[in-house]
Amino acid sequence: MGQAALVAAAEAPLLRVAGFVKRYGRRSAVKEVSLEVRRGEIYGLIGPDGAGKSSLMKAVAGVLSFDAGRLEVFGIQLDSEAAAERVKGRLGFMPQGLGLNLYPELSIEENIDFFARLRLVPAAELAQRKERLLAITRLARFRSRAMKHLSGGMKQKLALVCTLIHEPELIVLDEPTTGVDPVSRRDFWLILSEILHERGATALVSTAYMDEASRFHRLALMLDGRILAAGRPQDLRRRVPGVAVQLRAEHQAEALARLRSVFAQVQALGAWIHVFAQDRDATAAEREIRAALADIALHEMFSTEPELEDVFIASLRQQDPHAGAMSAAVQAPLAAMAAAADGNAIAARGLTRDFGEFRAVDRVSFNVSRGEIFGLLGANGAGKTTCIKMLTGILPPSAGEGSVGGIDMRHAGRAIKQRIGYVSQAFSLYTDLTVVENVRLFAGIYGLTRREAGERLAWTLDNGGLAGYENETAGSLPMGLRQRLALGCALVHRPQVLFLDEPTSGVDPVGRRQFWEILFRLSRIDGVAILVTTHYMSEAEHCDRLALMYAGGIVADAAPAELKRRVTEEAGSLLEISASPVLQALALLRSAGYPDAALFGEHIHLLARDPDTAGTQLRQMLAGAGIAVAHIGRRPLSMEDVFVHYVTLLERGGTLQ
C-alpha cells in the first residue's frame, strides 16, 4: 500500500453507519440513522431509554442483526455472522447495567483473569496489563473482594477493566455511568480518556445524562429512534442561538405563568426560575423578563450559556412546536389534598440502621416542612434508600426515631402508609396491567370508593398526560409516561408526604421537566412534603434544601445556593481551562497544587481562591511547559462541583466547615 493510501486509511472513519434500521416485530426501534465515528475520539449517543441507542450499539458490537442500512467497522461491512466475528477481537463491548457482564461470585481479580482467558490474552502480557488497569481504576487493594460486594461505581470500573483487558481498538460502552454517583462518574471519564490517549483507541459511548455531553468530542442527540442533531457540543449550541437566564422572584408560581406566555422553555429550579430565551441575547432576554413580570419583585437575575438540555428541547421543538411545553392540565391547580399535621411533615432524629456489623445509616437527623422539596444526595451505598425504607416503615431502625405526618414510624406502620406516597428506585407498577387497571388497583389497595377511584383516575390521566394511553399496558409506555403513571398511583390516596427514590432515571429531558413540574405544583399549591433522591445533579437544583449523605451520615444540610456559597468561600471559584494536549495539562495542574482538577471533555475544571491571579499564573505555567492555552475563564458552580468537592474532601479525611 502506498503512502497516500496509508494516510487515507488512517483518516477514514473507524465506524460508518448509513440508513441503519432495526425493528422488533412491528415496532421500529431505530429509523434510518446515519453517523461516522473517527479514530481516537469519544463519540456520544445521548437520549432517553427507548431512543434506539442500545440497539445501534449492539449491532456495532456484532451481537445484534439489523433490518436495513449499512454498517462498517474497521472498513469491514457487517452483513453476516462471519463478518461480525472478524471485528469482535478488535473491539470491546460493555452492555447496559451495573456490572451486567461480570460474575458476582468471582473476585475482582478472578473476573479480570476470566475475561483475559476468554480474549486469549497471553499470560506474559496479562500481569502487566492487569496491574496497570487496577492501578488507574484504584481497584488494586480490593482485588480479592467479590464482585457482588462492590459499590455501583466499583462495579462499573471493574466492567471497564474487563472490557479493556485485550486492548481493543474500538470500545463500545452502553450507558456506563447510569446509576453511578458523580464522583465515580468523574473517575470513570478520566480513566477512559487516559486509556484512549495512551493507546489511540476510539470509544462509542451512550448516556441518558445530558450533562455528560461536554465529555464527548462529538455526539448525536437521539429520540424515538432518530437523530435530532449531531456534531460537537459547542456546534450544537450554536445551531440554537439564545441565552439562559436564572432569576429569583416573588410569587414564583405567578412569575412562572407570566414567563411561559413569552418564552417556550421556562422551569422552576427550587427557589429559582430557569428561562431559555431562544434567538435573544442577554440584554434583550432580561428586558423581556422584566417587562413580563412587571409588578412582581425580582431578587436576582443573571445570564449564562444555555445547557445542552435547552438545546435538546429546542431541537425537538423545531420538529414539533408543542414538544416540551407544559400542558394546561399540569399548569391547572391540582385537587386539594388533606392538610398535613402541625409541625414537620417528616422528622428523623438519630436514625440508625445496622446490617450485622455494617452500619448503613449512622445517626441521621433532618426535618422536612410541609410544601418543601427536600433532596437526599450521596454516593452509591451512602444510605439514602435505607433512610427512606425506615421512614416509610419498610425497615425497622436499629436506633433513633422518626415521624411522618406527625405519626411515629416505629408504632404506626399502617397509619403512615395511608399518609405517604412512595415511588421506589425499582419500577413500582404492574407492567402487564393497563394504565387504568394500575390506577384502580392502587385505589383499591388504599380503600378508595368507586367514585373516589374514578376521580383519582381522571386526575392521573389529566395531570400525567396519559389521556389516550388508558388501555396501554404499563410495560409498553415510554419511560417518562411510565414514571408519571407511577407518580399518579403513589398519589391516588391524596398523601401528605411523597417519597421518591431515583424517580427519573432513564427519563428523557422533556419527561423529566414535566415530572418536576408536577412535583412543583404538588409542593407549592397542595403543600405536599417531598423527599427525593437523585443521581442527576442538575435535578438537585429543583430542591429547596439538600442533605449530603456520606458513609451513612449527613455531612451538609442547606439550600443549593448556600452549599455553592460555602464551597466558593472554602475552596474558591470555578475556572474552566481549554488547553492542548489536555491530559498533559491536567497532570501538570494536579502536580502544581490543584489535586481536584477534573477533566470535562476537552476542558479542565478546577477551584481557585483568587481566580484572576490564578488564571494568569496557570496560563504562564502551562505555556512554559509547551502546552497551548486557548482559554481560561470563570464558570458558575454546578451541584456536581459541590458534591464532588465535599465527597473528595471527606474521602481524604477532611472535615466540612
Residue 648 CB: number of other CB atoms within 10 A? 15
> How many angstroms from the chain centroid is the CA of residue 350?
30
Q: Which residues pair with 358 in a beta bridge?
A: 355
Dihedral angle, C-alpha 527, 529, 533, 535, nearest 10 °? 20
In the prediction, which pLDDT does 110 show?
95
Sheet with 346-355, edge to edge strand ranges: 358-368, 346-355, 399-404, 407-408
Q: Which residues pair with 106 in a beta bridge?
A: none
Is there a contact between 604 and 577 (Cβ–Cβ < 8 Å)? yes
CATH fold of 241-305 reads Alpha-Beta Plaits (3.30.70)
Give the Cα separation of 88 and 34 in Å (integer): 22
Secondary structure of residue 326 in the 3-state scheme: coil
How many Cα atoms sit within 13 Å of 624 on the Cβ side? Answer: 8
Evaluate if residue 339 carries a pLDDT over 80.
no
Determine the average pLDDT of the residues in 448-466. Answer: 89
Give the Cα separation of 571 and 593 in Å (integer): 13
561-651: what CATH class?
Answer: alpha beta
Evaluate if residue 327 carries a pLDDT over 50.
no
188/299: higher pLDDT: 299
Contacts of 327 (CB under 8 A, 6+ apart): 465, 514
Nearest to 305 by CA among 356, 246, 352, 357: 246
Give the Cα separation of 573 and 185 in Å (integer): 22
DSSP-assigned states of every residue in 338-365? PPPPSS-SEEEEEEEEEETTEEEEEEEE
Rounded (10°) angle between helices 582-591 and 611-624: 120
CATH dotted code for 3-234: 3.40.50.300
Contacts of 380 (CB under 8 A, 6+ apart): 151, 152, 153, 179, 180, 181, 184
Q: What is the mean pLDDT of the chain?
A: 85
Which uninterrupted H or E stretch holds 477?
Answer: none
Query: Is the link from the previous residue into 581 a cis peptide, with omega within 30 of 0?
Result: yes
Rounded to 5 degrees, what angle do the CA atoms 123, 151, 647 make? 115
Secondary structure of residue 635 in the 3-state scheme: strand
Is there a contact between 32 and 66 (Cβ–Cβ < 8 Å)? no
Is there a contact between 516 and 267 (Cβ–Cβ < 8 Å)? yes
Compute the residue count for the chain: 657
User: 80 φ, ψ to 5°?
Assistant: -160, 165
Evaluate if residue 330 carries a pLDDT over 50.
no
Per the listing, cell 476542558 goes with: 603
Is there a contact between 187 and 157 (Cβ–Cβ < 8 Å)? yes
User: 22 φ, ψ to 5°?
Assistant: -135, 125
Shared fold status for 346-558 and 561-651: no
Contacts of 303 (CB under 8 A, 6+ apart): 243, 244, 245, 246, 282, 285, 286
Dihedral angle, C-alpha 554, 559, 564, 565, nearest 10 °? -110
Give the Cα separation of 492 and 486 in Å (integer): 10
Dihedral angle, C-alpha 199, 205, 209, 213, nearest 10 °? 60
Per the listing, cell 451505598 goes with: 381
pLDDT band for position 325 (cuts 50, 70, 90): low
CA distances from residue 411 to 299, 363, 367, 422 in whole angstroms, order as listed: 45, 19, 19, 19
Is there a contact between 344 and 369 (Cβ–Cβ < 8 Å)? yes
In the prediction, which pLDDT does 18 show?
97
Evaluate if residue 87 carries a pLDDT over 70.
yes
Percent of the chain's residues with pLDDT above 90:
43
Q: What is the 3-state secondary structure of 88-103?
A: HCCEEEECCCCCCCCC
pLDDT band for position 656 (cuts 50, 70, 90): low
Domain definitions of the chain by residue range: 3-234, 241-305, 346-558, 561-651
Nearest to 263 by CA among 238, 293, 239: 293
In the prediction, which pLDDT does 11 show?
65
Contacts of 149 (CB under 8 A, 6+ apart): none
Which uninterrupted H or E stretch holds 417?
Answer: helix 413-419
Evaluate if residue 342 carries a pLDDT over 50.
no
pLDDT band for position 98 (cuts 50, 70, 90): low
Determine the average pLDDT of the residues in 40-58. Answer: 88
CATH dotted code for 346-558: 3.40.50.300
Give the Cα separation of 269 and 276 in Å (integer): 13
Residue 187 CB: number of other CB atoms within 10 A? 21
Nearest to 44 by CA among 199, 173, 180, 179: 173
460-465 contacts, C-beta under 8 A, 24 or more apart: 460/485, 460/488, 460/489, 460/491, 460/492, 461/435, 461/488, 462/329, 463/329, 463/330, 463/334, 463/488, 463/518, 464/488, 464/518, 465/327, 465/329, 465/330, 465/514
Evaluate if residue 293 carries a pLDDT over 60.
yes
In the prediction, which pLDDT does 589 show?
93
In the prediction, which pLDDT does 4 show?
44
Q: Is the pTM of this model over 0.75?
A: yes
Give the Cα separation of 381 and 377 in Å (integer): 11
Give the Cα separation of 126 and 46 in Å (integer): 34
In the prediction, which pLDDT does 336 show?
37
What is the tens place of the pLDDT at every residue in 539-575? 888 899 999 888 889 988 999 989 999 999 999 999 9
Percent of the chain's residues with pLDDT above 70:
92
Give the Cα separation of 545 and 558 in Å (integer): 5
Nearest to 517 by CA among 375, 324, 368: 324
What is the tens place of the pLDDT at every residue in 484-538? 898 889 989 988 899 998 887 767 677 788 888 888 888 988 889 999 988 777 7
Give the Cα separation of 604 and 621 in Å (integer): 15
Contacts of 470 (CB under 8 A, 6+ apart): 434, 435, 436, 461
